[in-house]
């Protein structure tokens, strides 16, 4: 039998796009202190932008901001805020404007998730994910929109592919991300005449991230079960970063109101990681496969 093709690792965006395409631009990113959003931020400032990363844990943010500045040679500041709190976000935007004088790009990336069936999911757990992902996205848009209008800028909302088909143990994030997709589409239509673009990036399984570690079913000795995609490799944060550079770049000026799944087509082959229907008939029997909620 012929061996399947394996796609090479993601290239660095600087091998495709000019180093200075975002020179003079400013990025405001929620959730930028770690994981996918940190990689997205690094890619944008690597091409000349300055950035403000926003999150709840200031010490973690400051460490990430210093790391990003050192790695790229461009400015990145840490601004503490909880996206569930409109006033804190407004203050974060004000500090960004005070520092840089403008905002051109916004990444709405703050998110929360864990594995739980509806029967075991508390009302508070469901509400918390909605508040962080959906209401947090809305609050971020409200706080930044006047500045994005002024700069004729662009939004990218970090979503997921979970709600494209029913995913057990993910009702909370499926509801939250479906709403994020809808918000982005409406924003694109309402604000297009103001010169504002809005798109969604929907990552598939991305190796080496906290989300993948927390949400993957665990095999022997805590190992993760592999997620296979037609391209023959796991997704990486660099894949998401490259999509970010493209969507913010002048090459994507006619692209708005769209959702870009960056998943190696894994959604079309998606199989359940937890045994079905055992996992929904007897949730207690699969708890050893799930990382405890943090």
- Residues serving a catalytic function are 159, 177
What is the chain's length? 294
Over 90: is that where the pLDDT of 244 sits? yes
**Residue that the structure tokens 């709600």 belong to:** 163
Q: Which domains does the chain have, with CATH numbers?
A: 15-289 (3.40.50.720)
Runs of H (alpha helix) within the chain: 35-46, 58-72, 86-100, 123-129, 136-151, 171-191, 210-215, 237-248, 278-281
Separation between Cα atoms, residue 210 and residue 280, nearest integer Å: 25
Over 80: is that where the pLDDT of 57 sits? yes
pLDDT for the residue 294: 42
Over 90: is that where the pLDDT of 181 sits? yes
Label the pairing between strands 76-80 and 105-108: unpaired
pTM above 0.85, yes or no: yes
Which range (83-87, 155-159, 214-218, 237-241) has the least confidence? Answer: 214-218
Mean pLDDT of 187-213: 89
Provide the pLDDT confidence category of residue 79 given band limits of 50, 70 and 90. Answer: very high
Provide the pLDDT confidence category of residue 203 given band limits of 50, 70 and 90. Answer: very high
pLDDT for the residue 52: 98
Give 257-280 pLDDT, tens digit per residue.
999 999 999 888 877 778 888 888
Which of 154, 128, 140 shows the shortest CA–CA distance to 26? 154
Percentage with pLDDT > 70 across the chain:
92
Tell me the β-bridge partners of 53. Answer: 29, 78
Give 227-238 pLDDT, tens digit per residue.
568 888 889 999
Q: Which is more confidently placed, 230 or 132?
A: 132
């Amino acid at each position: 039998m012929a061996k399947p093709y394996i796609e090479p690792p993601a290239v660095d965006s600087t091998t495709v796009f000019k180093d200075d395409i975002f020179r003079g631009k400013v990025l405001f990113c929620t959730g930028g202190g770690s994981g996918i959003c940190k990689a997205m931020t690094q890619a944008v400032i690597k091409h000349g932008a300055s950035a403000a990363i926003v999150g709840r844990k200031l010490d973690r943010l400051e460490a990430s901001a210093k790391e990003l500045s050192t790695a790229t040679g461009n400015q990145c500041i840490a601004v503490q805020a909880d996206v569930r709190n409109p006033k804190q976000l407004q203050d974060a935007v004000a500090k960004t404007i005070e520092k840089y004088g403008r905002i051109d790009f916004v990444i709405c990336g703050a998110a929360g998730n864990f594995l739980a069936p509806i029967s075991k999911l508390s009302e508070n757990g469901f509400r918390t994910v909605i508040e962080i992902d959906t209401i947090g996205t809305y609050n971020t848009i409200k706080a930044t929109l006047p500045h994005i209008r002024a700069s004729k800028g662009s939004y990218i909302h970090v979503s997921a592919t979970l709600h494209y088909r029913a995913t057990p143990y993910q009702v909370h994030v499926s509801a939250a991300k479906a709403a994020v997709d809808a918000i982005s589409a409406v924003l694109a239509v309402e604000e297009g005449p103001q010169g504002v673009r809005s798109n969604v990036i929907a990552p598939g399984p991305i190796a080496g991230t906290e989300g993948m570690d927390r949400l993957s079913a665990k095999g022997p000795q805590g190992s993760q079960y592999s997620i296979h995609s037609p391209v023959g490799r796991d997704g990486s944060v660099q894949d998401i970063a490259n999509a970010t550079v493209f969507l913010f770049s002048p090459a994507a000026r006619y692209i708005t109101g769209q959702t870009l799944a960056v998943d190696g087509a894994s959604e079309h082959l998606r199989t359940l990681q937890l045994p079905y229907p055992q996992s929904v008939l007897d949730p207690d029997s699969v708890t050893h496969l799930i990382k405890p909620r943090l």
